[in-house]
Structure 1
Amino acid sequence: MHESDETPRTFDDEAVLLVGHGSRRERSNEQVRELAADLESRLEIPVDAAFLELAAPAIDDALAELASLVSRVTVVHCSLFAASHVKNDVPLAIEQARGVHDIAIDNGSHLGIHPAIIDLLDDRATAVERDLGVDRDTDDVAVVVCGRGSSDPDANGDVHKLARLLYEGREFDRVEASFVGVTDPTLDERLHGLSKHRPDAIVVLPYMLGDGVLTRRVRDWTAEFDDEYPYVDALAGDPLGTDARLLDVFADRWQEARTGSVDMSCDTCKYKVDLEGYEADVGGARAMLRAITHQESHADREDVDDEPHSHDAPAKHVAVCTNRTCAADGSPAVLERLRQAARDSDHCDARITRTSCLGRCGDGPMVAVYPDGVWYGGVETDDAERIVSSHLNRDRLVSELVDQTL
C-alpha cells in the first residue's frame, strides 16, 4: 500500500496490481512503488505494487490483500518484454489466486514496444549526446540499445525491433541491439564491432526499468571500452526509470487487459511453435498453462452474448493526439477522461487510442473520430463526456468543438 495505516484509502470496486521483477537494490524496488503511486494518481483508482522475487510483497500476498477490498484487479506488468515471467510465472500466480479468492483478475501484457518508449529512448540518447558534446546532425553517432538478454527468442527479437524503430527517421549513424548476457551479441562484442566503423561517439542505452545491478554493469563496461578506445567517445545513459511517459504505456496496457483486448505474440512464441533449437520448450506444463489462459480469455468473452469478441472491430475509432504540443495542453488527461466516459457508458462501442501529430499544432488537444472523419480541436477534459454521450453514442456532433471534417 502507498499510504500509511493512519490514512486509510477509499476503495472503489477495482484496483490495479503493478508487478515488477524485484531487485536486491531497494532503490530499484522503490522505483516500481513510485510508478505505482503515479499510476494511481493518473487512473484515479487504487494501484499497488508487487514483485516476482527478491522484494515484498509477492504477487499472491498482494492479491490476497486486494481481494478483501475490491472485487476486480487488473494486473499490469513492468516487464519490458514477453519472456518466461510474463508467459508463465505471473499467469500461474494469477490462476492460483483465482482458485483461492472470489475476485475477478484481468492479466495485462508486458510493456513491449510502444511509441512513448521510443520517444523516451530518443530523449535518453539526446542527454548522452549533450554530455559528450556531439550532435547527431553533424557527427557520426552510433547507438547501442542494451537489453537484459533472455532464453526466449521472441523477447530477444523485440530488442532488435526496438533498435530499428529508434533508428528510423533519426540521424543516427546506426542503432544496434546488444545484451548483458544469456544471448548474443553481448554489449562488449557490439562495442568492439562498432569501433571498426570509427564513429565520433557511441551512445549506450541500458534498456532496463530500474537503476539496478545490470544498469551499473552496463555503465562499467561502457566506461572500460571508452578507456580502451581513446578515438571513440562512449557513454552510457540512464534507464527508463520513473519517467511519466511510462504511465502512458501502463494506462494502455491496463485498458487492454480490462477490455479483453490483450495481444500476445503467439506466432513467434517458443511455447507455441516449433522453433529450431527450442523444441524442448514446446508442449509440457508451461505450454499447457499458456494455452489454457489463452483459451479462457476467449471463452470468458464468448459467454457474454451482448459483448463483442475482442477481435471484432469497434464501431468507431477515436484517436487522441499526444504529441508534444497537444500533450503540453493536456491531451493525456483528455485521453483518460474519454476512456473513463466510454467505460461508464452502456452503449459506447469505440476504441480510444493515442496517436502522433495530427498536423494541427497549436489548435489542440486534437481528437479525431473515425470512420466519421471528424476532428475536434481545443478539447478539454470536461468535453470528454459530451463527445462520448453525443457523438460516440448517438452520432450527434459536438458542433462547437469541431475543428474540421474530412
Structure 2
Amino acid sequence: MKPVILLLAKAAMAAKPREEMQGLCDTVAKRNPDYAVTYALQELGTPSLRAKLTELADDRVEEVIIVSLIFPMEPAFPGWIRKSVHRWIEQRGDAFFPRIRIAHPPIGETDRLSDMIEALTFAADESDIVQERIKVPKGTVVPDQKYRLLVCMGGACNDAGASLIYGHVRSEQDRLKLRDSGAGMMSCKTNCLGPCSLAPVVQVWPEGTIYGGVDEADIDLILESHIGKGEPVDILSYPSNGKKQTLK
C-alpha cells in the first residue's frame, strides 16, 4: 500500500470547505503519484487527527507523513502534534500502527508563499468587490443548553497540549451534535483555571467539576458520562478542597 500524505487543517464544518480539502488532496496526489493523500482536522469537523490515524492503521498503511496547513505556525504546535500522536500510539497498545513523520512547517519558504499571495491577489475580479451594506439581524435565539465545558489555555496547559484537547472537544461536539442533543453543551477556551500542576485542565459547569491530566480518550469519557448522562467521571476529577493535589 502507498505511503500516505496526511494534510492537517484547522477546521471544516460545512460541505464546501470539505470539498475544497478533498480537491486539494486530489491535486497533491496527482503531483505525487507514489503517495495517497488524505486530510484531518485539528479543531472543528471530522475526521479528527486521531480518527484518521486509526483508519489508516486499520488499513495497514505502513507510513504516514503529517503536513500541517496551519499558518502562521505557532512555535509549540509541532510539539502538540507529536504529543497527540504519542498518546494515540500508546492507546493502540499492541495493535499495528504506521511509521509516522511530521513535516517541518514551511516558515522559511517565504518566496513561495509570496508567489502564492501574489497569484491570489491578482486573480480577484469585479465579482469579489464588497461594497454593499448588509442587514444585521435584530434578534437571535438563546440556546437552551445546560453544560459549559471550559478548556484551560494557561501556560502549563498549553505546554501539555491543551490546543489539541480543545480541537478534539470541538470536533466531537460537532460530530455528536452536543449543542442540540440531550441537555445541550457549549465549549470554549479560557485563561488559566488555576491548578497548573494538573495540566491539561478542563472544567464542566454548572457543577464546576475540574478534570486534570486529560487526553482525547478522557474527553470522550467525559462527554459520554458527564455531558451525556449527567454523571461526573470521578476517576478523572479533582475535588475543589483548597488543598494541594497531584495527578493521579
Q: State TM-score, norm by structure 2.
A: 0.47
Structure having greater relative contact order (Cα 8 Å, sep ≥ 6) = 2
Larger radius of gyration: 1
